A and B are shown apart, each in its own frame.
Chain A
Amino acid sequence: MQIYLPIAELSMNLFFLVGIGGAVGFLSGLFGVGGGFLLTPLLIFSGVPAPVAVASVTGQVVAASTSGALSHYRRGGIDLHLALYLVLAGILGAMGGVATFDALRALGQLDFFISLGFLVILGFVGTLMMIEAVRTLLKRRSGVVVRERLPNQHNWIHGLPLRVRFKKSRLYISVLPVLAIGIAIGFIGSLLGIGGGFILVPALVYLLRVPGNVVIGTSLLQLVAMMSATTILHAVQSQSVDILLAFSLMVGGTVGAQFGASAGQYLRGDQLRFLLAALILAVAIRFGVSLVLPPDDIFSTAAVSAGGLL
Chain B
Amino acid sequence: MKARAVLFGALALLLLGLGPARAERLVSTLSNQDISITSSFDGEQLTLFGNVEPETGSGQKYVEGPFHVVIVISGPHGSRVARRKSNVLGIWLNTQQVMFEDFPSYFHVLSSDKLADIANPALLAAEGILPAAQTRHSAQADWWTSMVFGRELVRLMTEKGLFGIEESAVGFLSNTAYKASIALPSNVPNGTFVARTYLFKNGEIVGKRSEGFLVRKTGFERFLGSASRDYPLLYGLTCVLLALFTGWLGGVVFKR
A residues sitting closer than 8 Å to B (CB atoms) are 1-4, 6-7, 9-11, 59-60, 62-68, 70-71, 108-109, 111-112, 224, 228, 231-236, 239, 241, 243-244, 246-247, 250-251, 254-255, 257-258, 261, 291-295, 297-305, 307, 309
**A59-B239, A59-B240, A239-B228 known; A11 vs B42 contact (CB < 8 Å):** yes
B250–A67 CB distance below 8 A: yes
Q: B85, B149, B247: which contacts A62 (Cβ < 8 A)? A: B247
B233–A232 CB distance below 8 A: yes
B87–A294 CB distance below 8 A: yes
Candidate in B78, B97, B243 with the most chain A CB atoms within 10 angstroms? B243
Q: Does B14 belong to the interface (CB within 8 Å)?
A: no
Chain A residues within 8 Å of B84, by CB: 298-299
Give CA–CA (A224, B12) in the complex, Å: 80
Chain A residues within 8 Å of B171, by CB: none
Interface string of B17-48 (1 = CB under 8 A from A): 00000000000000000000111111000000
Give CA–CA (A232, B81) in the complex, Å: 28
B residues sitting closer than 8 Å to A (CB atoms) are 37-42, 78-87, 90-94, 97, 99, 105, 149, 152-153, 155-157, 186-187, 189-190, 217, 221-222, 224-225, 228-229, 232-233, 235-240, 242-244, 246-251, 254, 256
B93–A235 CB distance below 8 A: no
Candidate in A255, A293, A300 with the most chain B CB atoms within 10 angstroms? A300
User: In chain B, what residue has the closest Cβ to A60?
Assistant: B243
**A10-B186, A108-B81, A304-B81 known; A4 vs B37 contact (CB < 8 Å):** yes
Give CA–CA (A233, B42) in the complex, Å: 31
B78–A305 CB distance below 8 A: yes
Q: How many A-B residue pairs have CB under 8 A?
A: 193
Min Cβ gap A186→B in Å is 16
Chain B residues within 8 Å of A309, by CB: 81
Q: A3, A108, A235, A293: which contacts B83 (Cβ < 8 A)? A: A108
Q: A3, A261, A294, A304: which contacts B78 (Cβ < 8 A)? A: A304
A243–B42 CB distance below 8 A: no
B244–A63 CB distance below 8 A: yes
Chain B residues within 8 Å of A257, by CB: 250
Chain A residues within 8 Å of B250, by CB: 63, 66-67, 254-255, 257-258
Give CA–CA (A1, B234) in the complex, Å: 29
Give CA–CA (A70, B233) in the complex, Å: 25
Give CA–CA (A232, B233) in the complex, Å: 6
A65–B38 CB distance below 8 A: no
Q: Which 7 residue pairs are nearest across A and B when measured between Cβ atoms?
A: A66-B247, A67-B251, A235-B236, A254-B250, A232-B236, A62-B243, A304-B79
A247–B229 CB distance below 8 A: no
What would 22 A/B residue contacts be, using CB atoms closer than 8 Å? Answer: A2-B40, A2-B41, A4-B40, A4-B221, A11-B186, A62-B240, A66-B251, A71-B251, A108-B94, A109-B94, A224-B247, A228-B243, A232-B240, A241-B228, A243-B228, A243-B242, A250-B246, A258-B256, A291-B91, A292-B91, A302-B80, A302-B81
B99–A304 CB distance below 8 A: yes
Give CA–CA (A309, B82) in the complex, Å: 12
Min Cβ gap B35→A in Å is 13
Give CA–CA (A283, B235) in the complex, Å: 32
B81–A294 CB distance below 8 A: no
User: In chain B, what residue has the closest Cβ to A61?
Assistant: B243
Give CA–CA (A111, B87) in the complex, Å: 15
**A10-B187, A66-B248, A231-B243 known; A239 vs B256 contact (CB < 8 Å):** no
Chain A residues within 8 Å of B236, by CB: 231-236, 241
Candidate in A68, A111, A299 with the most chain B CB atoms within 10 angstroms? A299
Q: A10, A112, A250: which contacts B247 (Cβ < 8 A)? A: A250
Chain B residues within 8 Å of A292, by CB: 90-92
